[in-house]
Amino acid sequence: MQSGIGQGAGRLESFDVIVAGLGAMGSATVDHLARRGAKVLGIDPFDVPHDAGSSGGETRLIRKAYFEHPDYVPLLARAYENWLSLEAEVGEQLLYRTGTVYIGDPDGELIRGSRLAADEHDLPLVALDDRALADVHPFLRCPEGYAALFEPDAGFLLCERAIAAQVRRASSHGATLLSGERLVRFSSTGGDAGVEVVTERRTVRAGALVVTTGSWAPALLASLGLSLRVTRQPLFWLPAPAGFELGSVPCWAVQRPEAPGLFYGFPALSDGLGSNAGIKLAHHHPGEVADPDAPRLPATARELASLLGAVAPFLPALAGPALRSKVCLYTNTPDGHFVVDRHPGQRGVVFACGFSGHGFKFASVMGEALADLALEGHSDLPIGFLGLR
């Protein structure tokens, strides 16, 4: 996949903004900055996109009836707009509005929270009885005591392709993007002189620095005392029974009262969209603590068995063995909400971290907000509830 990213060489002069980390959030940020005419440098130790952090595995759910908190909904509305304009400009579909079915305890967080967000923001969200559920997703079951909802605007994003598209657009607007380059330390030079950024290869100056280093943020932002916890998150691709193809079924998410988090899955993608045949299945809940620099332990048969056991009452057609698996990383805050702000002790430094396993869908709007913070010192986007305070 073309990312438009280069290997660092030669001397680099100073920049308006340096963005450290070109995953979901950083690639969106360099894109917004470059399109506003800023002189921007983006750096990442890996070739972009890659699957060493939080943004691998082909697909990410996107939805608007946000059970986590209705305050996210205006940001999501803007995120959708930004994804659509990116698609239009790069000429590639990145967002698939398959709709998503939510099944859970009628009084549980998923059903209650989705309804609350939909009511507050007047979003389409349809209650499904057994018959309607069978029409929408013939393989899903809503056991006794559960409720089912359908959000037609929800669906999924192709995550690596979205990052590649953001990086391509940033490059085409003049951003300098370097792989093989790691932010080692930074310091505000005080006053209006900006920020001095030290990588393994050079020292560079910029008016502002944006730190979007995902699971590597806890060490770089330790002075903020944020209590970020990096965890290991297995993903599985299962054999797809006939009828599970994209276009035939929506995405789905299930919450069980006796188990933490959400179990969720996607339609099976065709060869042209991803390298993985099969249905992607995962558990949205912080897993075991992980070191992002340590070798990644592969997903296990036990993890798959426990996942299949949890979803069996809802999707009895799913079965192993898995065709493929992968392990990604979450960076969790104690309350699961993101932290996006200016660094209180380092003038000119802006950061976004702690996306707690649900940040990807927001990348296109986070990039806009981070570009605002870096260039203007504030953003009109409603990100106040994600600030350090």
Ligand X SMILES: Cc1cc2nc3c(=O)[nH]c(=O)nc-3n(C[C@H](O)[C@H](O)[C@H](O)COP(=O)(O)OP(=O)(O)OC[C@H]3O[C@@H](n4cnc5c(N)ncnc54)[C@H](O)[C@@H]3O)c2cc1C
Residues that bind ligand X (CB under 6 A): 20-26, 43-46, 53-55, 57, 60-61, 182-183, 212-216, 233, 235, 282, 328-330, 355, 357-361
Residue number of the CB atom closest to ligand X:
23
Considering the complex, state which of residue 57 and residue 99 has its C-beta at the smaller distance from ligand X. Answer: 57
User: What minimum distance in Å lies between the beta carbon of 156 and ligand X?
Assistant: 7
User: What minimum distance in Å lies between the beta carbon of 203 and ligand X?
Assistant: 14
**Phi–psi pair at 339, nearest 5 degrees:** -125, 115
Q: Which helix (H) or strand (E) holds 328?
A: strand 324-332
User: What minimum distance in Å lies between the beta carbon of 30 and ligand X?
Assistant: 11
Considering the complex, state which of residue 211 and residue 318 has its C-beta at the smaller distance from ligand X. Answer: 211
User: What minimum distance in Å lies between the beta carbon of 55 and ligand X?
Assistant: 3
Rounded-to-integer distance, Cα 287 and Cα 298, Å: 13
Considering the complex, state which of residue 3 and residue 379 has its C-beta at the smaller distance from ligand X. Answer: 3
User: What minimum distance in Å lies between the beta carbon of 272 and ligand X?
Assistant: 21
Rounded-to-integer distance, Cα 297 and Cα 279, Å: 22
Considering the complex, state which of residue 118 and residue 158 has its C-beta at the smaller distance from ligand X. Answer: 158
Considering the complex, state which of residue 60 and residue 256 has its C-beta at the smaller distance from ligand X. Answer: 60
Q: Is the omega angle on the peptide bond into residue 321 within 30 degrees of 0, that is, cis?
A: yes
Output Rg (C-alpha) for the chain, integer angstroms. 21
Q: Which of 258, 228, 251, 242 is nearest to 357 (CA)?
A: 228
Considering the complex, state which of residue 134 and residue 337 has its C-beta at the smaller distance from ligand X. Answer: 337
Tell me which long-range contacts 195-204 makes (C-beta under 8 A, separation of at least 24).
195/18, 195/346, 195/347, 195/348, 195/349, 197/18, 197/20, 199/43, 201/8, 202/8, 202/11, 202/12, 204/12, 204/14, 204/15, 204/18, 204/41
User: What minimum distance in Å lies between the beta carbon of 208 and ligand X?
Assistant: 15
Single-letter amino acid code for the residue at 112: R
